[in-house]
Amino acid sequence: MAPHASINTQDIADKARRDLLQLLEGVRGKKNLVIEKALAGPVGLFVKFSTLQEYGVDRVFFLENDNVDSSQRNVIFLSRAEKAKQAQSIAGQIKRLRRTGSTDHEFSVFWVPRRTLVCDQILEEAGVLGEVNALEFPVYFVPLEKDVLSLELDDSFSDLYLRKDPASMFLAARALMLLQQSHGLFPRILGKGDNAKRLADLLTRMRSEQDVTSSADSSAGSIPSRLGLTPSMAIDSLIIIDREIDLPTVLLTQLTYEGLIDEVFTVQNNQAEVDSSIVGAPPSQNTSSSSKDASQPSKTSALKRKIQLDSSDKLYAQLRDTNFAIVGGLLSKVARRLQADYESRHKANQTTSELRDFVAKLPGYQAEQASLKVHTSLAEEIMKHTRSDLFSRVLEVQQNLAAGSDPSIMHDNIEELIARDCPLTAVLRLLCLESCIANGLRPKDLDIFKRSILHAYGHQHLLTFAALEKIGLLTARTTSAAGYLLPTAGSGGGAAGGGPRVTNYNAVRKTLKLIVDEVNESDPNDIAYVFSGYAPLSVRLVQAVIQKTALAQSSSATRGLAATAPPASAAGTASQGWTGFESALASIRGATVDETQVGSSKDAMRARSVLAGGGGAGQEKTTVVFFLGGVTFAEIAALRFVAAREEGRRRIVVATTGIVAGDRVVGAAIEKRGFGAS
Amino acid sequence: MSKPTADWERVGDRFYRKIQLYTAVFDQDLELENYVVVGAPYSGAVAIYRDEDKLQAYRGTQAAKSSIDLYSCAGKLIRRINWDKGSIRGLGWSEDEKLLVVTNDGVVRCYYDLQGDFIPFTLGHGSEEHGVKACRFWSSGFVALLGNNQLVSVSRYDEPRPKLLATPPADEIVSWALIPPAYTLSRSVEVLLAIGQTIHVVDASECEDRMLQNGPFKHISVSPNGKFVALYTDDAKVWVISSDFQNRLSEYDSKVKTPPKDMQWCGNNSVVLAWEDEVHMVGPNGAASKYYYNSWVHLIADFDGIRLLTNDVCEFLQKVPDVTEETFRLGSTSPASVLLDAVDQLEKKSPKADDNIQLIRPNLDEAVDICVKAAGHEYNIHWQKQLLKAASFGKSVLDLYNSDDFVDMCENLRVLNAVRFYEIGLPLSYEQYLRLTPESLVQRLLNRCEYLLALRVSEYLRLPTNKIYVHWASQKVRISNEDEESICRLIVQKLKGKRGISFGEIARAAYDEGRGRLATELLNYEPQAGKQVPLLLNMEEDSIALDKAIESGDTDLVFHVLLHLKKKLPLASLFRTINSRPMAVALVESSAMDQDWELLKDLYYQDDRRLDGSNLLLAEALAQTETTPKIEKLRMAAKLLQDSRENAFQVKAIDEEQRLLRMQDAFDKDLADQHNRFAGLSVNETMFRLIKMGSAKRAQRVVSEFKVPEKTYWWVRLRALVAKRDWHELEELSKTRKSAIGWEPFFEEILGAGNAKLASTFIPKCTTLPPAERIEMWVKCGLLVRAGEEALKAKDMNSLEVLRTKATGSAVHEIDRLMAQLAPNKR
């Protein structure tokens, strides 16, 4: 009798699909759908284009293209509502259609995930609010995998850290509240980073407000959920990781298969667009996803092929989280097995029943074979990339910086990369990495690098530097920040703010054992395998909560801790919070969050604990790890590795504002325009 | 106790009953025949106003003042709305008891509570010029007929969007009705217009003639479920047809010369015709029953029956529900009726009770169910009790019975009896109660300010009570004469400790009433920051509103406040307001970055953020297309930073770019090439292209102008020459004594470009590399013998052996020879 079901991502996808289809059904007859580009991908994750067609969608346009026509009377806009830009675009297009179109259009706007006052105001100012049927499409988390939930906010990183616009934090808080409403309160909220603190505060605030809202909304007929006010039985804690506290992990090149696909081809909404010369033309029946935009058969679709990357592809599920070094071996093993299976038909053609069994398996073989073909070509292409001189140079610099060797040795290398016109993102990643780990570059070095980059890539990157500095990725080491050598000074000064301003990597590297020298890539024994020797700080923090003993044992510097920390039983760990790793946390920048959420009614709590008393201990608990500002595939792989170790006792669900990779993080700052004429 | 069947009447093969709900409804002086009477669905309030078309006795000035009066079904005046706003052309109710008043000029007033507060909106679509002729309402919307026969529909009242329906013919409309959108195929409202001989069906997109010949139809009425249409023909006949106009179901000849003044459906299976004091009820197959009154009678249709209203009585006419008929019909031998009888016997202490039970033993659970349901349909408390007793007796005999239905019914009946009481005047039938939902019932009680009963009902049915408190407090704020402090104290004291109270709403009520100070005080108790914002903005407490919006964390609210402030305040004071609030500044910056750079410039100027200001100018320079304005913008950007030391680097860089642009301009003029302009390239790219174009001298000028480091220049030169495939020039370079970047890059790049021969010439120059790498380099060029020689020099036997395996043809012998050379030395 557990009132809170554990998180099932499929349910979330189902609900989103139902909601959307219901909204579409509300608009009678055929309709044209105008969708914001950034939403097309997430929507594609839970509903197929053919299904939309069944619900009367005639053609799909992109909002950004501004090309919707009057072919249908009903026009539906599907757009996010947090930014003014989309609303202005919608208002403009409605006005255009009204002016030029001969038909009397019916306009509907589905705001995702909520209707905002600002968008109403903009439509009103444009004089179109009166004829727009505005509805909400409340989709927050979109499941990417069984254990990965994402808000799929592409701009969340730049919004949060460059523009300091907390809109995505608010949406994240809403999304987490929804989780709490259906699964119960997170019994404990842990987190690291100033924004994590803000998010946790927002959650607390929303919870206190929940009372009022839920009962105020009950006029609409929904009964206020009383379940939402008691701590969950299925979830044991929420761990919020602010991206800001662990930027180096993003900047390093990911070395898992999935991570490298992302680095080389970019994965968006579980899809990678790959040149068809690499993977071959798409099979003929694959028209559903690629012809999203039916109105303009884009030329790119002829050259690019979209490859679905998720666990429905069994082979990919095996490969995705492994270190790329062993992918080749795994692929050839699978190839040999397939070969053998296929050969077995010669032996098996004796009796008809054996033959029938074989034929029944055939479709499976074919799918597997197709997937093998795709992944072999992908791996080959990535191999080309990893074998290149530039790649190994970059990797060398990265590994050295991460390991904490004197950065100035690497400077010549970086200078050379600049002179060789290596992609700007790669160079900036290296410089930012150095700056993050060493808390800024020496002002003199910084100026030299800036000059070389301006010379090599153009002076417009003065703006890039300004942005990078604002994010805190690339800074000059100031005299006050040099106090990182004395962590006490940092933490003392930041005591009011709740944590030091900068991370002392020298200390953290030891206490959390970020560098693992012997990594076994084929049979990993530590999360460090995802970066071939570097363990992501963010995941180490998660381990500090749920795998204390494992971490303490592997960490030589905290050898004493294994004795002091009580033996970690499955039920006990979560309630300990950060215990045992306070000193490590103190040397990481930003505030530390540790809150316990108790239900509003004590009696219910007691009753619940009595009920759960017997069977509760052996139950599998879920830990939600929320990455504010984005997560990399390598980190997901590392967390899956952690979860595999905890199998049976604990599930880890990764939630995030979006998937990030180094190129995109740095790219958020890069000025795209040049001084050219056009 | 009279039998329940006393007020039954047989029409055709069905029974109908007419229940007297209330007596002495209206004042005898009220000339009901001169009034328009409309009732809200689900036995809601009744609105009456004097029909302007009818003559009225002159009674002095006082009575001449017109008003819309809202009564309960029991004739209790709830509210009098004084009316001086023009001629009323439509009066109707929505499902949630909103009163809609449509005037001739197309203005609709939506009275959302029964207390006289309203929200107006206009119909538009030419209603001002042509005027509104009439309106027809359904549960959540209405259609207005304009003077030019156009039809305007409104389908919701929270955000009304009047829509024009398809254009019908311009001929005179005899009568009309509508089919609610929920019951049409198109899901849009359909309007039936009787024009001439026929009927036109109009929906959002088209107007279709149904080609009937028997018109003109004096009355049209659509059944509550939208499936049937009743038509009253010119020759006094009633036709019932299906609403798709395919089947004619029944016909009735009223034989009355004058057409009835009203025709309505009673439930879904009979039609009621009303003349001044005579009512005909036409059941299926044309069977009819007639009722006579001694005063004017009005019809108020509901979905499961019809209310008949005269000065004296309010009656409810409906088909006897099946369960009730089964239980009470004379001579019924159904299990339920036997069970009811058993209870009777039990009270008489007769053993027959047990006989009865044994008789229906196999169907006992069914009998219990029916008794429970029949109790629900019963208005008479005595019979309710009797039926529940029977059910209770029956279920005590059963071994296993789920009593949930029984318990629910007891609770529901208690609530129903309470609200049917004449002082409340909500004669809900059980069916209506189920459809209305208990929550809406509580809302109706609130609209009537029946707080105590609402509270009792909510507590009894375990519904949230917070809204009741908020409504009470808002009302208190509106009408109380006490001073503000004591009101506030009273409210806070009463609502303290109650969960989910929205003080924001109460404060809003206080503010609307003009009690600003009270509103502020009350607002302090509101736990939700976001809820306070709109009111604070109204109260012009801008900075508090901004703080609260920031506190709520909702960026949308913050934006909302900021937009409001931007419109209201001069820029300087806007900046002053947001200055101390980093989140507000960030949001203004972020949105201005997309839309309004001028605002951003002002912001940076005011805050003296020169670097940001300069960067903005830089961005503007990027947006320019011509070189001259570009340089001008850059000059401004640099000027902004000139006097600060820490920005020296920035100034220098901007300066450099200006020089570069000028230089590139010159290059573009000299080496006129329309497709490959220099403008916009970086320093390195400029050099690259110049070298590639064979203009090394100019490249040198760039080097000296921008003090390009030697290493960089070498790299650029190397890449450019390789890209140009200028092998000759590279060979020349190889003759130079020293390279700033060593010779290895030359080897790599040239080999990468496919010229192994030339690449190999650089191998001997890579003296700093270990021999093993040099061997590897030779191999890469395919020169195994040279690799062998290298190995020999390094005395590396292993490498030689490896090379030996790779070698083919004559190279094998060569390597053998080399190995032989090395081997003896070893020995």
Q: What's the pLDDT score for residue B152?
A: 92
Q: What's the pLDDT score for residue B59?
A: 57
pLDDT digits (tens, 9 = 90+) for B145-157: 998 889 999 988 8
Question: b/e per residue, A412-441, with b = 16+ CB within 10 A?
Answer: eebbbbbbbbbebbbbbbbbbbbbbbbbbb
Eight-class DSSP state of A256: B
Q: Which residues of B touch A211 (CB under 8 A)?
A: 499-500, 527
- CATH fold group of domain A9-138: Rossmann fold (3.40.50)
Q: Which residues pair with A31 in a beta bridge?
A: A57, A74
Question: Which residue is it, tokens 């190279």?
Answer: B811
Question: Which residue is it, tokens 């509580």?
Answer: B442
Taking CA atoms, B298 is separated from B29, B46, B88, B302, in Å, by: 16, 11, 19, 13
Return the CATH class of domain A390-480.
Answer: mainly alpha
Q: What share of chain A is helix, strand, coil (3-state, %, to 5)?
A: 55, 15, 30
Q: What's the pLDDT score for residue A561?
A: 41
Residue in chain A nearest B714 by alpha carbon: A419
Q: What's the pLDDT score for residue A293?
A: 42
Eight-class DSSP state of B285: G
pLDDT digits (tens, 9 = 90+) for B571-620: 888 888 888 888 888 888 888 887 788 888 888 888 888 888 899 999 98
Say how far apart CA B87 and CA B53 lie, in whole Å.
10
Q: How many residues does chain A have?
A: 678
B380 contacts chain A (CB < 8 A): no
B768 contacts chain A (CB < 8 A): no
Of the candidates A28, A118, A164, which has its C-beta nearest B560's C-beta? A118
Of the candidates A198, A419, A455, which has its C-beta nearest B682's C-beta? A455
Interface of A with B in 106-165 (CB under 8 A): 114, 116-118, 121, 130-131, 133-134, 159, 163-165
Question: b/e per residue, A343-380, with b = 16+ CB within 10 A?
Answer: eeeeeeeeeeeeeeebeeeeeeeeebbebbebbbbbbe
Beta-carbon separation of A462 and B650 below 8 A: yes
* Tokens linked to A139: 């989709």
- The domain locations on chain B are 321-401, 418-463, 466-527, 612-768, 769-827
Phi, then psi, of A580 in degrees rounded to 5: 95, -20
**Greatest mean pLDDT range, A594-608, B457-471, B767-781:** B457-471
- CATH fold group of domain A251-279+304-344+354-387: Syntaxin Binding Protein 1; Chain A, domain 2 (3.90.830)
Q: What's the pLDDT score for residue B772?
A: 82
- The domain locations on chain A are 9-138, 140-214+228-246+503-561+576-677, 251-279+304-344+354-387, 390-480
B635 contacts chain A (CB < 8 A): no
Q: Which residues pair with A622 in a beta bridge?
A: A235, A651
Beta-carbon separation of A121 and B680 below 8 A: no
Q: Which residues of B touch A457 (CB under 8 A)?
A: 682, 684
pLDDT digits (tens, 9 = 90+) for B324-343: 988 888 888 888 889 988 98
Residue in chain B nearest A158 by alpha carbon: B590
How does residue B141 score in pLDDT terms, banded at 50, 70 and 90? very high
Q: What angle do CA A22, A27, A29 make, to 5 degrees?
A: 115
SS3 state of residue B398: coil
On the 0-12 / 13-18 / 19+ scale of CB atoms within 10 A, B504 is buried
A211 contacts chain B (CB < 8 A): yes
B748 contacts chain A (CB < 8 A): yes
| Shortest distance, CA A675 to any CA of chain B (angstroms) | 4
Q: Determine whether domain A140-214+228-246+503-561+576-677 maps to CATH 3.40.50.1910.
A: yes
Give one DSSP letter per residue of A260-290, joined into a string: HHHHHH-EETTEEEEEHHHH-PPPTTTTTTT
Longest pairwise C-alpha distance within chain B: 144
Phi, then psi, of B293 in degrees rounded to 5: -120, 165
Q: Which residues pair with B111 in a beta bridge?
A: B99, B118
Task: Out of 1.10.150.780, 1.10.10.10, 3.40.1190.10, 3.30.70.2520, select the CATH number for domain B612-768.
Answer: 1.10.150.780
pLDDT digits (tens, 9 = 90+) for A109-122: 999 988 888 888 88
Interface of A with B in 10-29 (CB under 8 A): 28
> What ipTM was reported for this prediction?
0.84
SS3 state of residue B574: helix
Q: What's the pLDDT score for residue A580?
A: 83
Say how far apart CA B322 and CA A651 lie, in whole Å.
56
On the 0-12 / 13-18 / 19+ scale of CB atoms within 10 A, A464 is buried
Are A9-138 and A251-279+304-344+354-387 equal in CATH topology?
Answer: no
Amino acid found at B337: S
B538 contacts chain A (CB < 8 A): no
**Greatest mean pLDDT range, A281-290, A352-361, B424-433, B484-493:** B424-433
pTM across the whole model: 0.79
Of the candidates A82, A216, A219, which has its C-beta nearest B555's C-beta? A82
pLDDT digits (tens, 9 = 90+) for B228-278: 999 998 888 899 999 888 888 888 888 888 889 899 999 888 999 998 888
Say how far apart CA B163 and CA B125 lie, in whole Å.
8
Peptide bond into A113 cis (omega under 30): yes
Residue in chain B nearest A121 by alpha carbon: B560
On the 0-12 / 13-18 / 19+ scale of CB atoms within 10 A, A240 is buried
Q: Which helix (H) or strand (E) holds B560?
A: helix B555-568
Q: What's the pLDDT score for residue A302?
A: 53
Eight-class DSSP state of B53: T
* Tokens linked to A645: 């170790």
* Tokens linked to B55: 């003559």
Of the candidates A28, A164, A447, which has its C-beta nearest B649's C-beta? A447
B630 contacts chain A (CB < 8 A): yes
Say how far apart CA A457 and CA A127 lie, in whole Å.
45
* Tokens linked to B526: 């509101």
Query: Which stretches within A458-532 are classed as H helix?
Result: 461-471, 487-493, 505-511
Tell me what the pLDDT averaged over chain B comes to.
87
Residue in chain B nearest A419 by alpha carbon: B712
Beta-carbon separation of B681 and A216 below 8 A: no
Beta-carbon separation of A454 and B656 below 8 A: yes
Q: Which residues of A touch B590 (CB under 8 A)?
A: 159, 163-165
CB A644 within 8 A of CB A147: no
Phi, then psi, of A60 in degrees rounded to 5: -115, 130
Interface of B with A in 147-186 (CB under 8 A): 159, 161, 186
How does residue B50 score in pLDDT terms, banded at 50, 70 and 90? confident
Taking CA atoms, A672 is separated from A425, A430, B218, B612, B629, in Å, by: 12, 19, 73, 18, 20
Residue in chain B nearest A600 by alpha carbon: B499
How does residue B204 score in pLDDT terms, banded at 50, 70 and 90? confident
Q: Which residues of A touch B685 (CB under 8 A)?
A: 456, 458
Q: Which residues pair with B272 in a beta bridge?
A: B264, B281
pLDDT lower than 50: segments of chain A: 1-2, 215-228, 284-301, 481-497, 556-574, 613-617, 678
Interface of B with A in 642-701 (CB under 8 A): 649-650, 653-654, 656-657, 660-661, 677, 679-685
Say how far apart CA A88 and CA A107 lie, in whole Å.
15
pLDDT digits (tens, 9 = 90+) for B354-406: 888 888 888 888 889 999 999 999 998 999 999 999 999 888 888 888 888 99
pLDDT digits (tens, 9 = 90+) for B680-726: 889 999 999 899 888 888 899 999 999 999 899 999 999 999 998 88
